[in-house]
Chain A
């Protein structure tokens, strides 16, 4: 574990000459790793199982997909496009063509996995909550880009749609989640004064 981030500490705050800042870490204890894995498995499987319960699907997940469609349309229109959202369907008004944001396309699963990884991690509770909230928000911003790109792919390069929709974007969303986790991991490990700065 990095004890101090390089270039993040004012050298005047560090006592003693020839300070060694090391990135070498001690191996994790088996108990720490086990606790993290169990916590991660319980939160993620519980979260995924909850998605299959009908009131949660109709009361939370589907309205969230509608919000994603509206937000995507707003972003497209902000940049001079001409999009409209109706329920979970996002469409290009003049050019024609549209996509429906179905379950599995709203990055809820990746958000649950990211939140589970952060919440199960042995860190301070406040930093876990901040990490989960900010991480999910960042993941959803990337997912907005995914939805918008798929809308245009569907209209202008439909032969590539399935490849990007079903395979490539999934890998990119997960890579994005992994990178968010790594950045949060570094942030949560800083001393309080540095983290607040």
Chain B
């Protein structure tokens, strides 16, 4: 990738981000709603969360099967629920416009459509994992009734207790780490990793070693004094 190609790549990516981010902003809540059943199924299998309901503002309400045993809770409700804010779920989708900007910028992959479809599938999987990590850390805070070090402001226990065996300190820390990586690292890293993983041209540029052999009849490689 020579200097001109690099400038073209940077400029295209930056300019493509503008319409893609606008498109993303108008579509993101619909995407979150469309992906909710998949996440609901995964958390139902892996965690004590029965269902994810829409909160009407783009976010979800996680309905757990954890019984409230003590403390202040809604009258008549026996099982603990907690809100999943829309802004965190939107963050997990912020990788999408960035990935498509990178994928569409020159040098493009030889099989661009296949790359876009594969990238889309990977980003859907990533969203499901990230949302599951988010719900897991909320469940861990609820069960252990302790603030998680990943966010000592948001991840604090509610004013009630639930009856469930506590997670170990290691699992509690790992839940926070998974939440932190899902919220602050993967949205930034995933598009770049997918771009490098699915497009052989930047991969070859970044990790290839040594120039290709010259064509038959060409002069010897240049030598510096």
Contact = CB atoms under 8 A, between A and B. Distances in A.
Of the four ranges (under 10, 10 to 19, 20 to 34, 35 or more), the interface on chain B belongs to: 35 or more
B211 A3 contact: yes
Interface string B150-173: 110100000000000000000001
A196 interface: no
Contacts of B21: 167-168, 171
Contacts of B151: 103
A24 B218 CA distance: 15
B17 to A, nearest CB: 6
A113 B219 contact: no
B187 interface: yes
B224 A9 contact: yes
Interface stretch (B1-9, B33-41, B119-127): B1-9
Contacts of A78: none
Contacts of A49: 177
Interface stretch (A13-21, A66-74, A90-98, A130-138): A13-21
Interface in A9-42: 9, 13-29, 32-33, 36
B188 A16 contact: no
Given A1-B211, A27-B204, A48 B222 contact: no
Given A25-B210, A33-B207, A52 B177 contact: yes
A167 B90 contact: yes
A52 B173 contact: yes
A155 interface: no
B149 interface: yes
Given A27-B204, A167-B94, A182-B6, A9 B173 contact: no
A32 B184 CA distance: 28
B23 interface: no
Interface in B164-223: 173, 176-177, 180-181, 183-185, 187-189, 191-192, 200, 203-212, 214-215, 218-223
A52 B205 contact: no
A23 B1 contact: yes
Interface of A: 1-6, 9, 13-29, 32-33, 36, 44-45, 48-49, 51-54, 57, 102-104, 109-110, 113, 122, 162-163, 166-168, 170-175, 177-179, 182-183, 185-186, 191, 193-194
A113 B193 CA distance: 12
Contacts of A19: 219, 222
A27 B208 contact: yes
A16 B3 CA distance: 24
B208 A4 contact: no
A175 B210 CA distance: 27
A52 B209 contact: no
Interface in B1-49: 1-3, 5-6, 10, 13-14, 17, 21, 24-25
B91 interface: yes
Contacts of B188: 109-110, 113, 170-171, 173-174, 177
Nearest to B213: A26
Contact of A175 (B13, B208, B211): B13
Contacts of B181: 45, 48
Given A9-B222, A174-B191, A22 B13 contact: no
Nearest to A29: B209
